[in-house]
Structure 1
Amino acid sequence: PPHLRTQALALIEQGHRHLILDLGAVTFCDSSGFNALVGIFRCAKTANGTLVLAAVPDRLARLLDLTGLSALLPAHPTAAHALVAHTRSQDTATA
């Protein structure tokens, strides 16, 4: 999680405000992982950006629901789906 957070915050600082985090390979997430997600979300939001999750494993999705984080962090089945949804929301925002 510290590496993930560091890399994500570096991307935001470089101007990449809208992040899609593909969690398909995640097999375990503890409180430090949740804290990293919240920290990345907050930094993206401060930069007028977004954090979207993709390929969230079932167990992690249930934990996100139980903690209320699913309300802050939209999830999509794949990173491609998340990118399409983001593109559509940007198109709607500029129309």
Structure 2
Amino acid sequence: MADTHKAGAFDIRNVIGGLLAIYGVILTLMGLFGDPETEKTGGVNANLWAGLGLLVVGLGFIAWSRIRPIVVPEHVEPVGDDPTRPAPKKRPRKGH
């Protein structure tokens, strides 16, 4: 079996999950300790419920990245001539 390692912190699911969880904590704290302003939201503490929802989704992303990590192979074969890939554009040389 080839040598492999996990994407770890570079897995985009960790970044998204972390950001959502941070915003979820902030909104949950605002819902608990701030002015709920329920008259604007029809009697619902919107900050609290949105914060709890963001926490659940953010922790779900982090759990997903832990349960099914992205495995990065140590060695990747270079791509050969692929007719479906466009060739790089050549820049004209100055002075020629």
Taking structure 2 as the reference length, the TM-score comes to: 0.23
Name the structure where helix makes up a greater proportion of residues: 1
Between Structure 1 and Structure 2, whose CA radius of gyration is higher?
Answer: 2
Higher strand share: 1
Q: Which has the higher contact order (CA 8 A, sep 6+)?
A: 2
